[in-house]
Amino acid sequence: MEYVKAFAVGGTICMISQILMEKTKLMPGRIMVLLVCTGAVLGALQLYEPLLDYAGSGASVPLTGFGYNLWKGIKEAIDHDGLIGLFRGGFKMAAVGTSAALVFAYIASIVFQPKMTK
């Protein structure tokens, strides 16, 4: 049943993103920013944690989960270090995911040798 919940929630997030891409004039980058900000806002309103408990990876893997993770890191760092945590907390919580994305993107660019279109 955990897989069904994860698929339903993650699929719904992806479906909303696809609808935004198809039915609005928003560019994909803006939709990505919207998803990250939505995750952070839902985390601040304490609405994302119950969704994580319910859906697991279905809520933590999409970009909304990244936004929630950034917010959570900033909140913990502010509680621990004060105002300087505002600048440091997001980097601490998201460093592994961001580093992995950069490394795997670099490896993919070497393996597939992308070319610019003219």
DSSP 61-113: SSHHHHHHHHHHHHHHHHHHHGGGHHHHHHHHHHHHHHHHHHHHHHHHHHHH-
The model's confidence at residue 23, banded by pLDDT at 50, 70 and 90, is very high
- With beta carbons less than 8 A apart as the criterion, state whether 94 and 69 touch: yes
The model's confidence at residue 63, banded by pLDDT at 50, 70 and 90, is confident
115's CB contacts (< 8 A; 6+ apart) are none
Phi, psi of 67 (to 5 degrees): -60, -45
CA 114, CA 94: separation in Å to the nearest integer?
27
**pTM to 2 decimals?**
0.77
Q: Is residue 60's pLDDT more than 90?
A: no
Residue closest to 92 by CA, chosen among 75, 112, 117: 75
- The average confidence (pLDDT) of the chain is 88
The model's confidence at residue 96, banded by pLDDT at 50, 70 and 90, is confident
CA distance from start to end of the chain: 48
Task: Identify how many contiguous H helices and E strands the chain contains and give both numbers.
Answer: 6, 0
